[in-house]
Amino acid sequence: MKQPKEFETKIGITFKNQDLLKEALTHRSYLNEHQDWPHPHNERLEYLGDAVLELIVTEYLFAKFPEFQEGYLTGLRAALVNYQMMARVAREMTLEKFMFLSKGESREFGKAREVILANGVEALFGAAYLDGGYDSAKKLILETVIPHLDEIIEKQLYRDPKSLLQELVQEQHKVTPSYKVIKEEGPDHQKTFTVGVFVADEEIARASGMSKQEAETKAALDAAAKLKTTK
């Protein structure tokens, strides 16, 4: 049996109601294989945690950047709370190690795994809010999510990567970047796409994703980072 106490030590919170923590860590798939499991799955807590996360991040950004307009703040918030960032936060707190998943879900990878982790960390925020109140959830979010803000600003991750890359390429090379699918792998329900981004006929970056759009976005992000270093 997994030991949530070890996870509590990792995140610096001791839950008064251990059932809330176990609910936050329980994926729907686990109940299919363990019908005697006494805790519900974490989707209701995820619903709550999503709202708690957005409020706390919004409050933080509003107070920290009084000079920024609504559009810029919205972009920063979106970059901080999207599922890729939440999956990253989940991995940093080793959430995956403590989640209750079915054997099948335990073997998932790519976007499917990232969504599971993102939902799990939002459920954790919801559980922290119910167990310790607003201040408990705020402390956890400020310690795990907000530290990524400097990177988001520095790398301009609040902007659409494809739009940013297009600006950089047009500024430096007077052409428009193009994208090409290099290969597709895997079964239809779990296909992985590898996409290259080209300036004229030169490939400047490539990346893989669970959809063409995801692969293009990752490739654009990598290409933009490379072009910035050569300016």
Query: Which sequence positions are flagged as catalytic?
Result: 50, 122
Instruction: Answer yes or no: are the C-beta atoms of 51 and 127 closer than 8 Å.
Output: no
Nearest CA to 221 among 85, 101, 99?
85
Return the structure tokens found at 49. 């945690």
